[in-house]
Amino acid sequence: MKKLSLLLLSALFIVSCAKTKKKEPVQEEKAKNPNIVVIYLDDLGYGDLSSYGATEISTPNIDALANGGVKFTNGYASSATCTPSRYALLTGMYPWKNTSAKILPGTAPLIISTEQQTLPKLLKKEGYDTAIVGKWHLGLGSGNVNWNEKVTPGPNEVGFDESYILAATQDRVPTVYIKDGYVVNLDPNDPIEVDYKNNFEGQPTGKDNPELLTMKWHHGHNSSIVNGIPRIGFMKGGDAAKWSDVDMADHFLEKAQAYVKSHKEKPFFLYYAMQQPHVPRTPHPRFVGKTNLGPRGDVIVEADWCIGEFVKTLEEEGVLDNTLIIFSSDNGPVLNDGYYDDSDTKNGEHTPAGVLRGGKYSLFEAGTRMPFITYWKGQIQPGVSDALVCQMDLLASVAKLVGTEDKSTDSQELLDAFLGKSEKGREDLILEATSRTALRSGDWLYIPSYGGKPLNTQVNIEVGNSDVPLLYNLKNDLSQQNSVAESNPEKLKEMHNKFIALRGE
């Protein structure tokens, strides 16, 4: 009996302590802020998910987010390639305002100024812990990086408390993971050297040593060989630090899960930047053959599985209903992006871009219109939204969500649209593809006349170059089959003037 009352007393004590703690106003305020997770795929197209109409690939875990959240039909990356899109996502700035925001080599310096506003910085100020796991591709250091010392500035200097990244792309050297500025598993007796111009003496290359390759290169990708895969750029040393391509998805997943587990007590922002389905496509053996589409389909299924596991972790750790998940991709799809991996020959009936025209590198819609999903269990009413939104707008919108404001960037505050409470999105959006720009305004899409070949034959994608300006009404011509530039000169003029005004030219 005595024991029981003692137990009761101590239980009461604990409860009252917890209560007092909760009463502290700051704690309570912070408790309202949800965790924010951005799940960002690499080169996933508008038609690559079953929830966005794919019939040859099944993505049940991402579909669960789409069907339980807001599925955007007019959700855009800022750009049709990786670096500029990631730049816009993290800084809220139009990437064409920064001439360095182009596809970067692995040796490029950091292109985000450490003075600049960023999404993680903003959240840090509001009491969030912040982390990136996955692909970076925004440059590291200030030129001439020594990979054997702390690599800085990088993600940790622009707002991330923690970072576990691959520097550039899976097809570029250095093929190592970097944790908070340090190459993981680096043996000091086997230092890393990286060069994008010249090979290191005696090092085999994809070009000269085809006998060493397990994956053949189609264009580019003929420099240093790592795990039988020829890469872009030359690298020497760092053997123990080299990643295993087939384990990369599991590796990043484990890091993302571990982050959730160790940060569930405080609001956190996690940027989970997955590498699929960018080349080289290297599904773990347990996913090989899961689709009939070859490795591209298989790595999409692998990514979907990872996302399912990740969401399970949020649930098991008790934070799913306090976490806003934003899902999207950095740019449109490509089948052959430089390796012979059967992704083009086995593609069959699959349409990676859905009904959209173009693909990665393109100013046509498939370049930038992305699968775009917001999910927040118990808070977001499931639905489909046609609001025009861009990843760049997350910065100002998330600012509002956490009770602050940011007007210093190009990011527009569209919180209600992101939470599915309003269909009102942007009026206008400048889209970018390999340094060319176009204007989306209302239902209209205007592509100024750019010289150059209309078709990038290496990747077999129409990039949007034309001798004449192009104008489409996406409402009745989503597939951009009929330019009305000639038949509607007034609209053309209006769009051109708006484009010039917005570009500040």
**Minimal distance in Å, beta carbon 373 to Ca ion?**
18
Of the listed pieces 203-211, 314-322, 330-338, 493-501, which binds ligand NG6 according to CB under 6 A?
330-338
Which candidate, 480, 430, 461, 440, places its Cα nearest to that of 361?
461
**Residue 232: contacted member of ligand NG6, Ca ion, none (CB under 5 to 8 Å, by partner type):** ligand NG6
Q: Which H or E element spans position 307?
A: helix 295-316
- Note whether 458 and 450 are within 8 A (CB): no
Q: How many CB atoms lie within 10 A of CB 264?
A: 17
Identify what 103 binds: ligand NG6, Ca ion, none; CB under 5 to 8 Å per kind. ligand NG6
- Does 42 sit near Ca ion (CB under 5 A)? yes
Q: What's the rounded Cα separation, in Å, for the pair 462 and 460?
A: 7
**Which of the listed partners (Ca ion, ligand NG6, none) does 204 bind, with a CB threshold of 5 to 8 Å by partner kind?**
none
Q: How far apart are CA 81 and CA 104, in angstroms?
A: 10
Q: Does 432 bind Ca ion (CB under 5 A)?
A: no
Q: Which residue's CB is nearer to ligand NG6, number 102 or number 357?
A: 102
Q: What DSSP string describes 89-129?
A: HHH-S-GGGSTT-SPPPTTPPP-S-TTS--HHHHHHHTT-E
Q: Is 101 in the site for Ca ion (CB under 5 A)?
A: no
Contact between 169 and ligand NG6 by CB under 6 A: the answer reads yes
| Residue in the block written with tokens 């118990």 | 378
Contact between 276 and ligand NG6 (CB under 6 A)? Answer: no
Fill in the DSSP letter of residue 321.
Answer: G
CA dihedral of residues 81, 83, 86, 87 (deg, nearest 10)? -130
Q: Among 220, 342, 344, 400, which residue interacts with ligand NG6 (rule: CB under 6 A)?
A: 220
* Piece of the chain touching ligand NG6 by CB under 6 A; list 299-307, 331-339, 349-357, 393-401: 331-339
> Interacting stretch for Ca ion, rule CB under 5 A, among 123-131, 329-337, 338-346, 440-448?
329-337
Q: Which of 48, 180, 302, 330 binds Ca ion (CB under 5 A)?
A: 330
Residue nearest to Ca ion (CB): 82
* Closest distance to Ca ion from the beta carbon of 359 (Å): 11
Task: Note whether 150 and 179 are within 8 A (CB).
Answer: no
- Answer for which of 22, 207, 219, 493 binds ligand NG6 (CB under 6 A) is 219
User: Among residues 38, 65, 82, 235, which is the contact residue for ligand NG6, using CB under 6 A?
Assistant: 82
Question: Which of 232, 274, 417, 419 is in the footprint of ligand NG6 by CB under 6 A?
Answer: 232
Cβ atoms < 10 Å from Cβ of 349: 9
DSSP string, 238-250: -GGGBPPGGGHHH
Among 91, 224, 331, 411, binds Ca ion (CB under 5 A): 331
Tell me: does residue 180 bind Ca ion (CB under 5 A): no
Q: Segment contacting ligand NG6 (CB under 6 A): 47-55, 152-160, 185-193, 213-221? A: 213-221
Pairing of strands 225-226, 229-230: antiparallel
Q: Is 316 helix (H, G, I), strand (E, B) or coil?
A: helix
* Residue 337 touching ligand NG6 (CB under 6 A): yes
Q: Does 229 bind ligand NG6 (CB under 6 A)?
A: no
